[in-house]
Amino acid sequence: MRLRSLVAAAAVSALGISLAACGGSDSGDSSGGSSGGGDQTLTYWASNQGTSLDNDKEVLTPVLEKFTAETGVKVKLEVIGWNDLQTRIQTATTSGQGPDVVNIGNTWAASLQATEAFLPFDGAAMDAIGGKDKFVPTALATGGKEGTDPTSVPLYGLAYGLYYNKAMFAAAGLQPPKTWEEMVAAAQKLTDPAKKTWGMALAAGSYTENVHFAFINGAQNGADWFDKDGKPTFTTDGNVQGVLRYLDLMQKDKVANPSNAQYDNGTKSVNDFATKKVAMVINQNNADSSIVANGMKPGEYGVVPFPAPKDAAAPVASHVAGINLSIFKNTKNKDAALKFVKYMTDAPTQTTLGKPFASLPVLKDAKPVFTTDAAEAATFQDIYNTKSKPLPLVPAEDQYESTVGKAMNAMFAKIATGGTVTADEVKAALKTAEDQVAASS
């Protein structure tokens, strides 16, 4: 009998581990407020904007010290990598034990707003941070669902651009592309698998990057991913064709190395560009710091808007990308938190942080300072102000990102390993994603 009970005991504890591990059970009490003992200390979670977490810390520390000198409020800074940030916010939301102020990817704004854990910037709160008129309207629109008080305000603006290697283009007698067709033709001319050079690098294994391009290509076809009621409309023809067009860069046009299917973040494709293995890369403007850090000089590359096909319905070149700033509703230091948000979004701080973090200004009338290349700055500012469309501002946005993005990962993997993906298969994959979103809302 002893053996059986021993086996049973071992089994029960192993089972317990399995459930505890995947149940995501949170038994923390929700009574706690912000951490940090004194009433004049704010906890601030910053996202990774610089070249490393330490670099972020170095850049932010003097800025935060200046805030402390001005207001007497101390700031406890923690920089959190992108892989962990969402989970950390989730845990903070569930347990009520979070920071006072947090950076979020602006595409999460509507999803996070739905948790009701964040402070709405209503009339009074908005006035306290300097009024809504100081922000670029499209940037502020990413702060939450349309027609509601936003629960986040823009901090750093970002936009996609097509980076190209000037020397490679000149050597092949090419002009920077203005249409999708020109881009593909140029990329094909610059691709030579035997010499291990490719026209483009794609972060084809990164679901967050992939979903952005699904969105942008769909938007170029005039398609939307959600209808007015927030219901997913993933399988419309414009979206299917848009996704297929992007997949075809690797599948039909063969201008990207199949190995790109393993690139699970944008840094890897940017590095290929910076080390001159590829002639073009589509990335947000914060790629500048990585490109220069990897040895390319500012004058060696140019930027044009990510081109749409000749017969495109809309010349969308980017989504309104960027980082927003949110305050946890249960903060015990609401006034100090509002002061801090005002300080971070005021012109002097924006100018200080714009260069090291290579961000576009989110304030009206502000000039981009992230690059000394005037043409590049103007191009990005133009894309951000006139050629960008916000990602769907619906609570299910995060599910859209994960389901569609991961479906694209799988399709790229299939292409890279020798398979083909047809329009019908794209449609079926998007239908599955749509069902997943519908089932969990």
Partner 1 sequence: MASATVTEEAPVSPTASKPSGKRGLDRRPGLSRKLPYLLLAPAVLLELLIHIVPMLVGIWMSFVKLTRAFIANWAAAPSAGLNNYRVAVDFDGAVGQGLLKSFGVTIAFSLITLALAWGLGMAAAVALQPPFRGRSVVRTLFLVPYALPAYAGILTWNFMLQRDTGAVNHILVENLGLSTDRPFWLIGGNALVSLITVAVWKLWPFAFLTLMAGLQSIPRDIYEAAAVDGAGTVRQWRNITLPALRPVNLVLVLVLFLWTFSDFNTPYVLFGTAQPPAGDLITFHIYNASFLTWNFGSGAAMSVLLLIFLMIVTGAYLIITGRRSRRA
Q: Applying CB under 8 A, which residues contact partner 1? A: 1-4, 6-27, 30, 83, 87, 90, 93-94, 96, 111-112, 114-117, 205-207, 258-259, 261-262, 264, 395, 398-399, 402-403, 409-410, 413-414, 416-417, 431-433, 435-437, 439-441
- Token reading at 40: 């004049």
Q: What is the dihedral of CA 150, 396, 307, 205, to 10 degrees?
A: 120
Least distance CB 82 / partner 1 (angstroms): 10
Closer to partner 1 by Cβ: residue 114 or 174: 114
Least distance CB 27 / partner 1 (angstroms): 6
If one counts every other C-beta atom within 10 angstroms of the C-beta of residue 105, the result is: 24
Question: Is residue 198 packed enough to be buried (19+ CB in 10 Å), middle (13-18) or exposed (0-12)?
Answer: buried
Closer to partner 1 by Cβ: residue 234 or 340: 234
Closer to partner 1 by Cβ: residue 21 or 124: 21
Residue the block writes with tokens 């936003």? 150
Residue the block writes with tokens 């009339």? 123
Closer to partner 1 by Cβ: residue 19 or 69: 19
**3-state DSSP assignment of residue 47:** strand
Rounded distance between C-alpha atoms, residue 47 and residue 53, angstroms = 9
Least distance CB 386 / partner 1 (angstroms): 32
Least distance CB 212 / partner 1 (angstroms): 15
Least distance CB 34 / partner 1 (angstroms): 14
Closer to partner 1 by Cβ: residue 111 or 152: 111
If one counts every other C-beta atom within 10 angstroms of the C-beta of residue 244, the result is: 19
Rounded distance between C-alpha atoms, residue 262 and residue 207, angstroms = 11
Closer to partner 1 by Cβ: residue 21 or 69: 21
Least distance CB 293 / partner 1 (angstroms): 20
**3-state DSSP assignment of residue 11:** helix
CB under 8 A, 24+ apart: contacts of 174-183: 176/302, 176/304, 177/304, 177/307, 178/304, 178/307, 179/307, 179/308, 179/309, 179/310, 180/220, 180/245, 180/307, 180/308, 180/309, 180/310, 180/312, 181/309, 181/310, 182/307, 183/280, 183/307
Closer to partner 1 by Cβ: residue 29 or 133: 29
Least distance CB 70 / partner 1 (angstroms): 32
